[in-house]
Amino acid sequence: MESKNNLYLYVISLSLILFVFMGEIVVYVFSIKSWIEFNILHYRFNNYDNTLTLKYTIRAKRYPSRITIMLLSTTRKVTDKSIYIYYDPDYQKAEIDKKKILVIINFLKYELKIRGYKSHLKVINAIKLKDILLDKSNASNSIIIIPTGAFPENVYSRYINFVKPWVKYGGTLFWTTSRFGYFSASRDTSEINQQSFQYLGDSSQVEFFGTKIINKQTRYMMGTKKSKIGRVLGIKYPFLYGGVNIKKVKLLQGKVLGLIKYSTTSVGMIPLGKGKIVIFGGFIPSASYAKIIAKDISQIIVSGVLSGKIEFYKKYSISNHETVNDKIKVTIPAKYKFILYVFQNSQEGLFYKRLYINSGGISSGL
Amino acid sequence: MKIIPKFVSIKNHPLFYWVVLGSILRYVLVLYTSWPYDAPIWYKTSLNIIYGNGIYGRCFFSYPPVWGYIMAFFIFIGSLFIDPKSFAKHSPSLQGLLGIGDQMITSPQFHFFYKTPIFISDLIIAYILYRIVISETKDINKAKQAFLMWFLNPLVLFINCIAGQFSSICVLFLMLSLLFLIKWRFFISGIMLMLGIMTKVFPAYFIPLITGLIISMSYNQNNMNKKLKAFINISSFFVGLFLSALIILLPIIINRELTNFFWSVVGVRKTLSAGVGGFSLWFIQYIPYFSWIKEWQQNHPFTTLLSQHILILISLSIVFLLSNFYGYRNPLKCLVSGAMASLTSLYLFTPIIQAQYLIWIFPLLIIAALVYNKPYSPLLNVLTYSGLLFNLSISGFWIVLLPLCEFSNILKSEDIISISKSYLAFPGLVNRLLREDLWMISTFLGVIAILILFISSFKNLKKKNV
């Protein structure tokens, strides 16, 4: 039998354990993910006047929420492509450290998962990167992300370029830091040697696109105005250091996705052959911006905006327990397919719903 | 009917008025002050938890999960009444202010909910100190003094009420673990220690001391099979330790957050080049002649890490051996000295020791001073005021008043930010900046106090009358 003197210790300990338990329950049981309900009440394709009508309802269950609805048209069926992110610790990096690369990788996995992306993110080394780039038959089903600021020398240098043919065959490439293609990384853990004969400098832009596309700015220069797509998707990455010239984006029939200032965008997409290259402005001052990049990449990939056209979007501010009923009517040729992407705008938001719509019906998978 | 006599008996408790006074003082500080470097992290973590991202989903939280669980519970209660979005205001004027990444100022409502568990643990620690001192000395005045030395300690008030850092929750788990240990309750001691480790990792450094003491206590019983007894007791402790870890981590494993957990708690810290300084031996980098040390450390991070681990390992091995040899004679006294030896080793040899870590040792100093009449009260004061000076010199005192500016009309945040910016640029007498001078003075005094404690705690462990 415990003496009365010790009883208070048991009372305190058990109360503390109870608090921890209740906390676990709150974290994993009460914080249910469905603060928002979105349902399509009715949809109809009218072949006579080429219109699509959608009626839907949104309800914020507990807290006020900001929701965006975006309807995207595309001629091709969109699938969730395999995503590869390159990181090889044995190779040099340019203008980024290991921590930020790991933040990008880790966050990207999470951001893709919560958006319901079907394919897993795979981290690949330089050898595997070369294998993927050489397998052009799968290029159109693959996305490669380069967060290291430099292609490894086994795929891109003054003498070889396995990247461009792969993109031309339909691959999608994301470039996140340093200036696009400026450096070629050696198998070495030292800092990249800017005087090395292997680095191509700005001529790599001409090598890829036939013209210089980057408007070099100072490192901390940020875009202030949002592009249309950036505003819809909530793209937050602001730096213009190695950003893309907007005129060149338009000339090459690309898309401006990020923030804008001085004719430069922080995120731009340029098509190349059947593929696309998405270029971020190249400066990541802290891990927070690495997180932002991960979120922006997943938002760009999942929304399907790279291969479709935004036909309609609307933003809603919904009070708690409020239900909004609304309707979309768009005129579009019948052969088109649609992606309806509904998402929560806030930084912490978890609500992402993607619906694939065509004349045959609605499905949640792509 | 029984409520009134019960209230009268509480009111007659010798601590009643001090608890009331301390609580009022705490909540005055709690509501309208914050540490702008940390509070936005707690805000983002809470919001993520409420939105269902779990603790590690978006990796804002870089500690083991227990503080996250406790905070989640209190914030969840708050969110039943208040929209969690209103827990903070965006304040672009903070941009450019040294080291503040998130331009966010948290609200008094948010402070109330997230700092309340810290307040509760503070109160319990003070009460446990009171109980220990009264049971060991039978002196009510000394016991009251022990209560007040913690509950109204200026650094404890600053760290827990203003900065809202959760060290005291960890200290509470650690104290409970050590108390159960000397009462031969090894299983629950293990549970409490793991709760501490899963709050903030540092209680793991107490495992050698505890193991040594369990062996010592078991071997000196009038029992035939001493080896078996020692084995059973150590096993009970480790079973408690692992069972507790399992219960804490199980939801993380089930929800497939284990990778994010390791990434947030280990990965981020491993890749961080945290630098050197604060209240460790590396403080000498604040003295102008030794300023090259900082750069040297950045170029030799592995050497720093290796020397840290070797020195701590040697110290903890000595603690293990001494507690093993002498612990049975007076387990509480051995525990106090051993815990002080473990903590001071950690302080001295870790590359960076923040001022808030100093409060970990305060309960031990209070017990040693009041129960064993050790001359530690002046050292406690030195650590208190040097820690306070160090923290206040980071961005100036005014910076903690930002919530008062944003959520009342008493002060203007622009004024506070402008004063802070002037302070940050103010030239020093010896160093380039005034704040570097203040760091030099405060850490010099603090490290001297820690060195004295380090030597004296090892001496005390070795003494035959332990």
pLDDT tens for residues A84-116? 999 998 888 888 888 888 889 888 988 888 888
For residues A301 and A327, membership in a common domain is answered with no
For A107-159, how does the pLDDT look when each residue is reduced to its tens digit (9 = 90+)?
A: 898 888 888 888 878 999 999 999 999 998 999 999 999 999 889 999 998 88
Lowest mean pLDDT among A326-335, B4-13, B175-184, B229-238: B4-13
> Which has more confidence, A46 or B105?
B105
For residues A237 and A96, membership in a common domain is answered with yes
For residues A219 and A314, membership in a common domain is answered with no
> What is the pLDDT averaged over residues A332-359?
78
Q: Could you give the percent of chain A with pLDDT greater than 90?
A: 33
For A180-195, how does the pLDDT look when each residue is reduced to its tens digit (9 = 90+)?
A: 888 888 888 777 766 6
Tokens of B173: 């788990």
For B429, counting Cβ atoms within 10 Å of its Cβ (0-12 exposed, 13-18 middle, 19+ buried), the class is: exposed
Nearest C-alpha neighbor of A35 from the set A14, A13, A66: A66
For residues A134 and A259, membership in a common domain is answered with yes
Predicted confidence (pLDDT) at residue A366 exceeds the cutoff of 50: no
Predicted confidence (pLDDT) at residue B174 exceeds the cutoff of 90: yes
For A309-338, how does the pLDDT look when each residue is reduced to its tens digit (9 = 90+)?
A: 888 899 888 877 788 899 888 887 667 788
For residues A100 and A157, membership in a common domain is answered with yes
Instruction: Name the interface residues of A facing B (CB cutoff 8 Å).
Output: 5-6, 8-10, 12-13, 16-17, 19-20, 22-24, 26-28, 30-33, 35, 63-64, 97-99, 102-103, 106-107, 109-110, 114, 286-288, 291, 320, 346-350
For residues A60 and A207, membership in a common domain is answered with no
- Domain containing A68: what range? 36-74+310-363
Lowest mean pLDDT among A230-239, A295-304, B326-335: B326-335
Residue A353 belongs to domain with CATH number: 2.60.40.150
For residues A188 and A327, membership in a common domain is answered with no
Nearest C-alpha neighbor of B182 from the set B370, B458, B367, B344: B367
Q: Do A27 and B84 touch (CB under 8 A)?
A: no
> What is the pLDDT averaged over residues A330-347?
79
Lowest mean pLDDT among A253-257, B152-156, B407-411, B421-425: B407-411
Nearest C-alpha neighbor of B215 from the set B196, B238, B242, B243: B238
Q: Do A20 and B248 touch (CB under 8 A)?
A: yes
For residues A318 and A256, membership in a common domain is answered with no
Query: What is the pTM assigned to this prediction?
Result: 0.78
**Type of residue at A286:** S
Mutation target vs A (from B55, B56, B69; most A CBs, 10 A cutoff)? B69
Predicted confidence (pLDDT) at residue A362 exceeds the cutoff of 80: no
Q: Could you give the percent of chain B with pLDDT greater than 70?
A: 92
Contacts of B102 in chain A (CB under 8 A): 288
Q: B387 with B155: CB under 8 angstroms?
A: yes
For residues A204 and A300, membership in a common domain is answered with yes
Nearest C-alpha neighbor of A279 from the set A297, A291, A299, A303: A297
For residues A239 and A338, membership in a common domain is answered with no
Contacts of B62 in chain A (CB under 8 A): none
Mutation target vs B (from A10, A348, A350, A352; most B CBs, 10 A cutoff)? A348
Rounded to whole angstroms, the Cα distance separating B128 from A10 reads 12
For residues A297 and A340, membership in a common domain is answered with no
Q: A281 with A241: CB under 8 angstroms?
A: yes
Number of H helices, E strands in chain B: 21, 4
Q: A167 with A276: CB under 8 angstroms?
A: yes
Q: How far is CA B39 from the centre of its chain?
A: 16
For residues A100 and A192, membership in a common domain is answered with yes
> Which has more confidence, B29 or A363?
B29
The residue among A259, A280, A306 that closes a domain is: A306
